[in-house]
Structure 1
Protein backbone atom coordinates (compact mmCIF):
# COMPACT_ATOMS: atom_id res chain seq x y z
CA UNK A 1 0.00 0.00 0.00
CA UNK A 2 1.34 3.40 -0.96
CA UNK A 3 1.75 6.24 1.52
CA UNK A 4 -0.68 9.09 0.99
CA UNK A 5 -0.04 12.54 2.32
CA UNK A 6 -3.40 13.57 3.72
CA UNK A 7 -4.44 17.16 4.16
CA UNK A 8 -6.15 16.25 7.41
CA UNK A 9 -5.84 13.13 9.51
CA UNK A 10 -8.57 12.30 11.97
CA UNK A 11 -8.49 10.05 15.01
CA UNK A 12 -10.98 9.23 17.74
CA UNK A 13 -10.75 8.24 21.37
CA UNK A 14 -12.77 8.13 24.56
CA UNK A 15 -12.02 10.83 27.11
CA UNK A 16 -12.21 9.76 30.75
CA UNK A 17 -12.42 12.48 33.37
CA UNK A 18 -10.95 12.25 36.87
CA UNK A 19 -14.39 11.45 38.26
CA UNK A 20 -14.90 8.59 35.81
CA UNK A 21 -17.24 10.27 33.33
CA UNK A 22 -16.60 9.50 29.68
CA UNK A 23 -17.32 11.13 26.35
CA UNK A 24 -16.11 10.68 22.81
CA UNK A 25 -13.74 12.93 20.92
CA UNK A 26 -12.93 13.29 17.25
CA UNK A 27 -9.51 14.84 16.80
CA UNK A 28 -7.55 16.44 13.99
CA UNK A 29 -3.93 15.29 14.10
CA UNK A 30 -1.50 18.19 14.14
CA UNK A 31 2.06 18.23 12.93
CA UNK A 32 4.74 18.23 15.61
CA UNK A 33 5.56 21.82 14.68
CA UNK A 34 1.97 23.02 15.09
CA UNK A 35 1.44 21.09 18.31
CA UNK A 36 4.63 22.48 19.84
CA UNK A 37 3.72 26.02 18.82
CA UNK A 38 0.21 25.75 20.30
CA UNK A 39 1.09 23.75 23.41
CA UNK A 40 2.14 26.81 25.39
CA UNK A 41 -0.61 29.14 24.27
CA UNK A 42 -3.42 29.78 26.74
CA UNK A 43 -2.29 27.03 29.09
CA UNK A 44 -2.42 24.41 26.34
CA UNK A 45 -6.03 25.23 25.47
CA UNK A 46 -5.03 26.53 22.03
CA UNK A 47 -3.77 23.05 21.14
CA UNK A 48 -7.00 21.50 22.39
CA UNK A 49 -9.07 23.93 20.32
CA UNK A 50 -6.97 23.11 17.24
CA UNK A 51 -7.22 19.34 17.66
CA UNK A 52 -10.84 18.84 18.75
CA UNK A 53 -13.28 18.55 15.87
CA UNK A 54 -16.19 17.21 17.88
CA UNK A 55 -17.11 15.90 21.31
CA UNK A 56 -19.88 13.31 21.60
CA UNK A 57 -22.00 11.91 24.42
CA UNK A 58 -22.21 15.26 26.20
CA UNK A 59 -25.26 15.92 28.37
CA UNK A 60 -26.65 18.91 30.22
CA UNK A 61 -27.25 18.93 33.99
CA UNK A 62 -30.60 17.17 33.46
CA UNK A 63 -28.98 14.32 31.55
CA UNK A 64 -30.31 15.43 28.18
CA UNK A 65 -27.96 15.09 25.18
CA UNK A 66 -26.69 18.36 23.81
CA UNK A 67 -25.10 18.90 20.39
CA UNK A 68 -21.47 19.84 20.12
CA UNK A 69 -20.57 23.49 19.62
CA UNK A 70 -17.37 25.42 20.28
CA UNK A 71 -19.06 26.77 23.44
CA UNK A 72 -19.37 23.20 24.72
CA UNK A 73 -15.64 22.69 24.23
CA UNK A 74 -14.93 25.90 26.13
CA UNK A 75 -17.18 24.76 28.99
CA UNK A 76 -15.38 21.42 29.20
CA UNK A 77 -11.85 22.82 29.06
CA UNK A 78 -12.66 25.46 31.65
CA UNK A 79 -11.96 22.67 34.15
CA UNK A 80 -8.19 22.03 34.14
CA UNK A 81 -8.58 18.32 34.89
CA UNK A 82 -10.94 17.89 31.94
CA UNK A 83 -8.59 19.80 29.64
CA UNK A 84 -5.82 17.42 30.70
CA UNK A 85 -8.11 14.44 30.09
CA UNK A 86 -8.70 15.64 26.51
CA UNK A 87 -4.96 16.10 25.98
CA UNK A 88 -4.33 12.60 27.34
CA UNK A 89 -6.99 11.12 25.03
CA UNK A 90 -5.43 12.90 22.04
CA UNK A 91 -1.96 11.60 22.89
CA UNK A 92 -3.28 8.06 23.35
CA UNK A 93 -5.08 8.23 20.01
CA UNK A 94 -1.95 9.43 18.23
CA UNK A 95 0.05 6.61 19.81
CA UNK A 96 -2.55 4.01 18.80
CA UNK A 97 -2.59 5.37 15.25
CA UNK A 98 1.20 5.19 15.11
CA UNK A 99 1.09 1.59 16.27
CA UNK A 100 -1.41 0.74 13.53
CA UNK A 101 -4.40 0.02 15.76
Structure 2
Protein backbone atom coordinates (compact mmCIF):
# COMPACT_ATOMS: atom_id res chain seq x y z
CA UNK A 1 0.00 0.00 0.00
CA UNK A 2 1.40 3.38 -0.99
CA UNK A 3 1.33 6.20 1.48
CA UNK A 4 1.16 9.79 0.37
CA UNK A 5 2.01 12.92 2.27
CA UNK A 6 4.32 13.30 5.25
CA UNK A 7 6.20 10.11 6.10
CA UNK A 8 7.37 9.91 9.68
CA UNK A 9 10.39 7.79 10.46
CA UNK A 10 9.32 7.05 14.03
CA UNK A 11 5.91 5.38 14.52
CA UNK A 12 3.51 7.52 16.55
CA UNK A 13 3.27 4.93 19.41
CA UNK A 14 7.05 4.86 20.02
CA UNK A 15 7.59 8.58 19.70
CA UNK A 16 9.23 10.14 22.73
CA UNK A 17 8.35 13.68 23.73
CA UNK A 18 11.16 16.13 23.26
CA UNK A 19 12.20 18.02 26.33
CA UNK A 20 13.79 21.40 26.56
CA UNK A 21 17.25 21.69 25.00
CA UNK A 22 20.06 20.87 27.32
CA UNK A 23 23.14 23.04 27.06
CA UNK A 24 26.22 21.27 28.20
CA UNK A 25 29.85 20.75 27.47
CA UNK A 26 29.23 18.04 24.89
CA UNK A 27 31.78 18.85 22.16
CA UNK A 28 30.54 16.04 19.89
CA UNK A 29 27.15 17.71 19.48
CA UNK A 30 28.75 21.07 18.77
CA UNK A 31 31.15 19.58 16.21
CA UNK A 32 28.30 17.66 14.58
CA UNK A 33 26.22 20.84 14.31
CA UNK A 34 29.14 22.78 12.85
CA UNK A 35 29.84 20.09 10.26
CA UNK A 36 26.11 19.88 9.40
CA UNK A 37 25.95 23.65 8.86
CA UNK A 38 29.13 23.58 6.74
CA UNK A 39 27.72 20.78 4.59
CA UNK A 40 24.45 22.66 4.20
CA UNK A 41 26.22 25.88 3.15
CA UNK A 42 28.38 23.97 0.64
CA UNK A 43 25.30 22.29 -0.85
CA UNK A 44 23.51 25.63 -1.18
CA UNK A 45 26.58 27.16 -2.81
CA UNK A 46 26.78 24.24 -5.28
CA UNK A 47 23.10 24.66 -6.15
CA UNK A 48 23.58 28.39 -6.73
CA UNK A 49 26.55 27.71 -9.02
CA UNK A 50 24.57 25.16 -11.03
CA UNK A 51 21.68 27.62 -11.30
CA UNK A 52 23.97 30.39 -12.58
CA UNK A 53 25.66 28.02 -15.04
CA UNK A 54 22.30 26.86 -16.38
CA UNK A 55 21.19 30.47 -16.88
CA UNK A 56 24.44 31.29 -18.67
CA UNK A 57 24.02 28.32 -21.03
CA UNK A 58 20.36 29.04 -21.77
CA UNK A 59 18.59 32.12 -20.37
CA UNK A 60 15.17 30.53 -20.94
CA UNK A 61 15.94 27.33 -19.03
CA UNK A 62 13.52 28.20 -16.22
CA UNK A 63 10.83 29.78 -18.42
CA UNK A 64 8.18 27.14 -17.76
CA UNK A 65 5.22 29.43 -18.44
CA UNK A 66 6.61 30.46 -21.81
CA UNK A 67 7.13 26.83 -22.77
CA UNK A 68 3.57 25.96 -21.69
CA UNK A 69 2.14 28.84 -23.73
CA UNK A 70 4.15 27.73 -26.76
CA UNK A 71 2.87 24.17 -26.39
CA UNK A 72 -0.73 25.43 -26.24
CA UNK A 73 -0.19 27.44 -29.43
CA UNK A 74 1.34 24.42 -31.18
CA UNK A 75 -1.59 22.23 -30.15
CA UNK A 76 -4.03 24.87 -31.38
CA UNK A 77 -2.35 25.01 -34.79
CA UNK A 78 -2.40 21.20 -34.99
CA UNK A 79 -6.12 21.19 -34.25
CA UNK A 80 -6.72 23.79 -36.98
CA UNK A 81 -4.76 21.66 -39.48
CA UNK A 82 -6.79 18.60 -38.50
CA UNK A 83 -10.06 20.49 -39.07
CA UNK A 84 -8.81 21.75 -42.44
CA UNK A 85 -7.88 18.20 -43.53
CA UNK A 86 -11.26 16.91 -42.40
CA UNK A 87 -13.03 19.56 -44.53
CA UNK A 88 -10.84 18.62 -47.52
CA UNK A 89 -11.70 14.93 -47.08
CA UNK A 90 -15.40 15.78 -46.93
CA UNK A 91 -15.11 17.76 -50.20
CA UNK A 92 -13.29 14.87 -51.87
CA UNK A 93 -15.93 12.40 -50.67
CA UNK A 94 -18.77 14.61 -51.94
CA UNK A 95 -17.10 14.92 -55.35
CA UNK A 96 -16.69 11.15 -55.48
CA UNK A 97 -20.39 10.68 -54.72
CA UNK A 98 -21.31 13.24 -57.39
CA UNK A 99 -19.19 11.42 -60.02
CA UNK A 100 -20.76 8.10 -59.08
CA UNK A 101 -24.19 9.64 -59.43
CA UNK A 102 -23.36 11.13 -62.86
CA UNK A 103 -21.97 7.87 -64.22
CA UNK A 104 -24.18 5.38 -62.40
CA UNK A 105 -25.58 3.87 -65.60
CA UNK A 106 -22.15 3.50 -67.27
CA UNK A 107 -19.99 0.40 -67.20
CA UNK A 108 -17.00 0.36 -64.89
CA UNK A 109 -13.69 -0.98 -66.13
CA UNK A 110 -11.11 -2.26 -63.70
CA UNK A 111 -7.44 -2.33 -64.67
Q: Under a length normalisation based on structure 2, what TM-score does the superposition of the two structures give?
A: 0.21
Task: Work out which of the two has the higher radius of gyration on C-alpha atoms and give 1 or 2.
Answer: 2
Structure that is richer in strand per residue: 1
